[in-house]
Amino acid sequence: MKVLCFGSLNIDYVYAVPHFVRRGETLSADTLQTFTGGKGLNQSIALARAGAEVWHAGAVGTDGAFLVEALNDARVQTESIETLPDVRTGHAVIQKSADGDNCILLYGGANHAVTPEQIDRTLGHFSAGDLLLAQNEISALPHLLRSAKARGLRVALNPSPMDESLPPLLALADILLLNEVEASQLLRCAPDSDPEQLLTQLRERYPDAVIVLTLGAAGALCADGGAVIRQAAIPVHAVDTTAAGDTFTGFFLAGLLEGQNTAQAMRFAAAAAAITVTAHGAAPSIPTRKKVLSSGAFCDILAE
Ligand code: RIB
């Protein structure tokens, strides 16, 4: 079985700020760093570092060659990434606060030049039983999800960023991975809604899907059939939470693919995400399988 992650590749410009810029305010950043990122790229790298064999598809401009190299370095197959001559690579402007929290502004660039034709070409290399992983940072997402389902692929969807085009597509997902902000937006609930209630509503709406609800420092919940699994987060000193959710997604799916049960995959994912937040940047902060398995974070989870 093959894993195709069809998703964004971004250049992340990370500005360290004393607080997130407010309406009408001009604010000086303390530092600027540039990292490889994009939810698609991060999740492909997380899958590969967790031990899965992954194909990444997407699009960059001529300024995005280093993003493709980063995927190659992580042993992700990159033949289905197209380099477009007249479009800039997508980028993200990320404000990072002193406590490691972030807020992200996206510019789609080449990610928004993905066409149904590129999708059809790519899906031609995959068949029934393979797994597609997608996020919401590329164009033609409805075509991607519907075509993958029509070919018999299993679909894992991280509906991020959430927008109004997504709700009708979520029913196509066999595995749904989202955070509490996205769940509240989807269900039109208050942002501080009780996570257990969010999960209950998600299960009612998508009874056939495995649903993973990540909750940051409060851990994660997973509904799989009749069972609900609760996974605590490992307490660590977070310096940058960017890509924590992407790491969780990649390690959770890689765990399932290698035969772990849902509870084991949740532990594997939580340990990996705990390490990610202790380092700066998106993709560069994603740990290897070896690092996760030998980490205190994993031992702490096993000792629970
Ligand atoms: O999930 C983190 C990612 O979101 C960043 O790398 C940024 O590029 C945006 O896609």
Residue-averaged pLDDT of the chain: 95
Q: By CB neighbour count within 10 A (0-12 exposed, 13-18 middle, 19+ buried), where does 152 fall? A: exposed
pLDDT > 90? residue 267 = yes
Which ligand 1 atom sits closest to the C-alpha of 37? 6
DSSP strands (E only) in the chain: 3-6, 10-16, 31-37, 54-61, 77-84, 90-96, 102-107, 131-134, 154-157, 175-179, 210-214, 220-224, 227-231
The answer to whether residue 117 is domain-embedded is yes
Q: Confidence band (pLDDT; 50, 70, 90) for 186?
A: very high
The answer to whether residue 304 is domain-embedded is no
Residue 99 CA to ligand 1 centre (angstroms): 18
The one-letter amino acid code at 182 reads E
Global pTM value: 0.96
Residue 47's domain comprises 3-22+31-299
Q: Domain tally for the chain? A: 1
CATH number at residue 106: 3.40.1190.20
Mutate to test the pocket of ligand 1, among 88, 246, 286 (most ligand atoms within 8 A of CB): 246
Q: Rounded mean pLDDT of 113-137? A: 98
The one-letter amino acid code at 230 reads R
Backbone φ/ψ region at 33: left (φ over 0), alpha (ψ -120 to 50), beta: beta
Residue 282 CA to ligand 1 centre (angstroms): 7
Q: By CB neighbour count within 10 A (0-12 exposed, 13-18 middle, 19+ buried), where does 293 fall? A: middle
* Cross-strand bridge partners of residue 59: 82
pLDDT of the residue at 304: 60
Active centre residues (catalytic): 246
The string of pLDDT tens digits covering residues 85-111 is: 999 999 999 999 988 889 999 999 999
The string of pLDDT tens digits covering residues 242-253 is: 999 999 999 999
Q: Confidence band (pLDDT; 50, 70, 90) for 301?
A: low
* Cross-strand bridge partners of residue 20: none
The answer to whether residue 178 is domain-embedded is yes
Mutate to test the pocket of ligand 1, among 15, 33, 39 (most ligand atoms within 8 A of CB): 39
φ, ψ at 40 (rounded to 5°):
-65, -55
